[in-house]
Amino acid sequence: MEYRNLGRTGVQVSNPCLGTMTFGWDPDDWGSTQEESFAIADAAVELGINFLDTANVYGRGESERILGEWMKDRNNRDSLVIATKCHGKMDDNDPNMRGNTRRNIIASCEASLTRLQTDYIDLYQIHRPQPSVPIDETIRAMEDLIRQGKILYTGCSTYAAWQVTEAHYVAKMLGARGFMSEQPPYNLLDRRIECELLPFCRTYDYAVIPWSPLAGGQLSGKYLQGTPDSGRYAKSDPMNRVNEETTKVVKALDKLAKKYGMSLTQLSLAWVANQPGITVPIIGARSEEQLKWSVEACNTALPEGITEEIDEIVPPASHFLDYYKADFGPNARPNV
């Protein structure tokens, strides 16, 4: 297992990070039961993974709860780097149980600590931007949590480049530590973070922890032969992410992978994991075997010359899917 610095912190995290969004979701859809989740987490540790990512909104606390039960049962909290997030709606009727206000951040952190059965969170992230809330309010709340010892580091997810820049300099103005990581969507079907966000993060030594490196499973090739029985878009695809154009690109990438003796999954994960400025990608898994393949792929070196051929199919900073749709204004709604 390869370990990399988590941005400018020096904390060592595994390549890849295990995403636990599926923990507790309907196993007949694309989730896993508590027992299955425990087995996947055990397999991850055996493979050397020490970095796990969740969020309060995943199953409205169910993912965090299962992760907390697992850590308690295995007595392994201190050997892990745990990341979670707040922002998402946690109650349909209470308008204050969501967003990036001080009120919600403090309450959400306390609730996450309880579900995770831990005294501290290694990396606490703001799940999405909210321009209607002043960024200084968000940063001050996170700083207070750091001073209380409840969180160690802070980050953001799916922010526009200008929003990360604003947060960076507001934190400096306030004398706060501010964000040290960004968690954007990044895959071979959406490379837009290469334009501004990734250069900013490389310049200021932010950790970059991409989500959906397989574009919801499309870059595994599972949708090339029609709709599979299971998968992120098997039962519902409201944003029409599996379409004629994306399928054409995926077929071209699959052909390229075969040319170099690789699977499409291996090519796609190795590409993200080896891109300049990327810390580690977040992967999900529904089985121990799938997890093992993904870990091996993330730790695979790309063959010489393949990057240039990938760029011919998917030009740098281009996109075929709207994953990186950050909140650019008070009325904008980011994809999730």
Mean pLDDT per 10-residue interval, the chain, length 336 residues: 95 98 76 90 98 96 97 97 97 95 98 98 97 96 98 97 97 97 97 96 98 92 67 59 83 96 96 97 92 96 95 95 69 43
Distances (CA, A) of 151 to 33, 112, 279: 28, 11, 20
Q: From CA 330, how far away is CA 129, in angstroms rounded? A: 10
To the nearest 5 percent, what fractions of the chain are helix, strand and coil? 40, 15, 45
pLDDT in the model for residue 11: 98
Q: What is the DSSP letter of 211?
A: B
Contact criterion met (CB below 8 Å) for 181 and 209: yes
pLDDT in the model for residue 325: 77
pLDDT in the model for residue 330: 47
pLDDT in the model for residue 336: 38
Contact criterion met (CB below 8 Å) for 334 and 128: yes
Which of the residues are catalytic? 58
Collapsing DSSP states into helix, strand and coil, what is residue 265?
helix
pLDDT in the model for residue 217: 87
Pair of tokens at residue 111: 């609730």
Q: From CA 102, how far away is CA 99, in angstroms rounded? A: 9
Q: From CA 101, how far away is CA 138, in angstroms rounded? A: 6
pLDDT in the model for residue 225: 74
Domain boundaries, the chain: 3-313
**β pairing state of 151-157 and 17-19:** unpaired
pLDDT in the model for residue 224: 79
Helices and strands per DSSP (H, E), number in the chain: 10, 10
Q: From CA 88, how far away is CA 57, in angstroms rounded? A: 6
Residue range 3-313, CATH number: 3.20.20.100
pLDDT in the model for residue 335: 39
Collapsing DSSP states into helix, strand and coil, what is residue 76?
coil
Distances (CA, A) of 242 to 55, 99, 199, 264: 26, 30, 29, 16
H-assigned helices in the chain: 34-46, 62-74, 102-116, 135-147, 161-174, 197-203, 244-259, 264-273, 288-298, 306-313
pLDDT in the model for residue 24: 84
